[in-house]
Amino acid sequence: MHPLLTEIDHVAIAVNDLEAAIAWYEEVFGATVEHREIVESDGVAEALLRVADSYIQLLTPTRKDSPVAKYLEKKGEGLHHVGYRVADCAVALEAVKASGGRVIDDAPRPGSRGTIVAFVHPKTSFGTLIELVEDPN
């Protein structure tokens, strides 16, 4: 079987203060923000800082009832999920389902920056929330 995961697309970190987190990465590591977006359906504001061919994705909630707000309340700041790049999100999602795995998104859906994404439940993936990311751009 050829590998379905082709790259680490991003490592997502949940933070309380997005501007402070961006400033820290800029000032300490000289990182630059390549993209910012508010994803209203997920209730998050995100900033993507490029690291080689991958990104650090800083996430903060835009409303109190968003999943990231609940995550911060329960677990505090820190690693939220890992985004793996895939050639075809539907194929990778089907592989998870075919193995009996639990998914959060039953079908691929729009992600930020024009991507197509689906989340895999951490109970299936050994405690880590996984996002499958297809980037058609």
Stretch that binds Co ion, among 5-13, 26-34, 68-76, 88-96 (CB under 5 A): 5-13
Interface positions, 14-43, toward Co ion (CB under 5 A): none
């985004």: which residue's tokens?
Answer: 83
Q: Is 9 in the site for Co ion (CB under 5 A)?
A: no
Q: State in angstroms the smallest separation of the CB of 56 from Co ion.
A: 11
Q: State in angstroms the smallest separation of the CB of 1 from Co ion.
A: 25
């909630």: which residue's tokens?
Answer: 61
Q: Is 83 in the site for Co ion (CB under 5 A)?
A: yes
Secondary structure letter of residue 103 according to DSSP: B
Query: Within 13 A of 11's CA, how many CA atoms are on the CB side?
Result: 7
Q: State in angstroms the smallest separation of the CB of 81 from Co ion.
A: 6
Q: Is 97 exposed, middle or buried (0-12, 13-18, 19+ CB in 10 A)?
A: middle
Q: Which H helix or E strand runs over 19?
A: helix 18-29
Q: Is 131 in the site for Co ion (CB under 5 A)?
A: yes
Residue ranges in contact with Co ion by CB under 5 A: 12, 83, 131
